[in-house]
Structure 1
Amino acid sequence: MTRRAEQIGETRQRIVDAAVHLHGTVGPAATSIAAIAERAGVTRLTVYRHFPDDTALFAACSQDWLARRPLPRPDQWALIPAPTERLRTGLTDLYRFYRSGARMLALVHRDLDAIPAPIREARQAGERQQVEVLASAFADRGRRERRLRRALAAHAAAFPTWRSLCEGQGLTDVEAVAAMTALVSELPGR
């Protein structure tokens, strides 16, 4: 019985590994159950036995991929009372994470519509929480200033912003953090 349970666990992990590999090479939209099964060395039926729907498969794939890297820690950023230092720390943490998973994140971002709604919505909620932590330390004067600050913080914290600045324009993470920290902290047109 123990060996059978081990085999089931090994098969499940091979399926997850295959999904992670395909999501990171061709993207979620181009990853089929047949391709996952072929890469894992199992049948499509076996994939469905382990993962009855796309949400279960995406959740396992995401959990496995995220478990292999240090995640951004907005709970730690929130402990920093100085607004600019909190922003700098948070962006440094985010940009490190983006760099460590750039290929997968680019494909996931490109194929966002192919990701099951519960997974996509959880990701978006996490992004909103990060922006709230980054922007909330600032003492903004009025609704307009608060709205502008949150918009700029959201822009600074977004993966496409990091990608444009660092991959597209060749900035280092340190340079990109400094530029975005200045933009969000100083509020242009004040």
Structure 2
Amino acid sequence: MTRRAEQVEETRQRIVDAAVEVHGTLGPSAGSISAIAERAGVTRLTVYRHFPDDEALFAACSAHWLAGQHPPDPAAWAAIDDPARRLETGLTDLYRFYRDGQPMLTNIYRDKAALPAGSRSGLEANDAAIADLLAAPFDGAAERRRLVRALVGHATSFWTWRSLCVDHDLTQAQAVAAMTDLVLRSGR
């Protein structure tokens, strides 16, 4: 790689690092291009040269942040046929991810309306897919399935985890047990 190409890549990485820092501390709604440029030590024009729009910058920021995380593994949960075990395993994995990524995830979910449209719809689709996967093994009448899906959607919500584990100081195990019990009791 030529020295010029290395400098371009270094500048791009400084911008991405700055975006992760700004989004993780201030949140996306306060993460203006100016704030990111200042943190990266570049001009706004330089940011736009590397990332032509907010969607591209947010995607690079998200990919970089996620690369440093241990995301949940829905494929492993899908292999579990027993509804209660799948739900408990999935919530345990999901709540661990929420705990480990709490500062960034709090800002992302708080500022969800300010996210670029594609990123916002991707986040919503991912959240819905997780809830659908954990609710899928439950069978029964349509009304029962609707209730179970609503409760699983509530249980998988970042804000539910935050309320139980941060605001009310439950352990992860207590929160998982409470949400699993709620779904199982209501789904009977």
TM-score (norm 2): 0.97
Q: Please give the alpha-carbon distance, in whole angstroms, between the structure 2 residues aligned to 1:128 and 1:22.
A: 27
The corresponding residue for 1:24 is 24
**By how many angstroms is 1:90 displaced?**
0.2
**Percent pairwise identity:** 61
Q: How does 1:65-80 map to 2 (within 5 A)?
A: 65-80=65-80
**By how many angstroms is 1:58 displaced?**
0.5
- Number of residue-to-residue matches in the alignment: 188
Q: Please give the alpha-carbon distance, in whole angstroms, between the structure 1 residues aligned to 2:141 and 2:109.
A: 33
TM-score (norm 1): 0.96
Q: Please give the alpha-carbon distance, in whole angstroms, between the structure 1 residues aligned to 2:72 and 2:186.
A: 25
1:11 partner amino acid: T
After TM superposition, which residue ranges in structure 1, 4 or more long, deviate above 3 angstroms? Answer: none
**By how many angstroms is 1:184 displaced?**
0.8
| Partner secondary structure for residue 81 of structure 2 | coil
The corresponding residue for 1:93 is 93
Q: Please give the alpha-carbon distance, in whole angstroms, between the structure 2 residues aligned to 1:170 and 1:48.
A: 43
- Is the aligned partner of 1:128 residue 2:128? yes
- Describe the superposition over 1:49-70 as per-residue Cα deviations: whole angstroms up to 9, x where unpaired: 0001000001001111111101
Q: Please give the alpha-carbon distance, in whole angstroms, between the structure 2 residues aligned to 1:170 and 1:77.
A: 26
- Describe the superposition over 1:17-39 as per-residue Cα deviations: whole angstroms up to 9, x where unpaired: 00100001111101111111111
**By how many angstroms is 1:3 displaced?**
1.6
The corresponding residue for 2:43 is 43
- Describe the superposition over 1:39-87 as per-residue Cα deviations: whole angstroms up to 9, x where unpaired: 1011111000000100000100111111110111111100011110000
The corresponding residue for 1:34 is 34
| Partner secondary structure for residue 180 of structure 1 | helix
1:185 partner amino acid: L
The corresponding residue for 1:152 is 151
The corresponding residue for 1:186 is 185
1:159 partner amino acid: F
2:179 partner amino acid: M
Gaps of 5+ in 2: none
Q: Please give the alpha-carbon distance, in whole angstroms, between the structure 2 residues aligned to 1:33 and 1:116.
A: 13
2:152 partner amino acid: A
The corresponding residue for 2:109 is 109
**By how many angstroms is 1:110 displaced?**
1.1
The corresponding residue for 2:168 is 169
**By how many angstroms is 1:142 displaced?**
0.7
- Describe the superposition over 1:100-132 as per-residue Cα deviations: whole angstroms up to 9, x where unpaired: 111111111111111001001011111111011
The corresponding residue for 2:53 is 53
| Partner secondary structure for residue 30 of structure 1 | coil
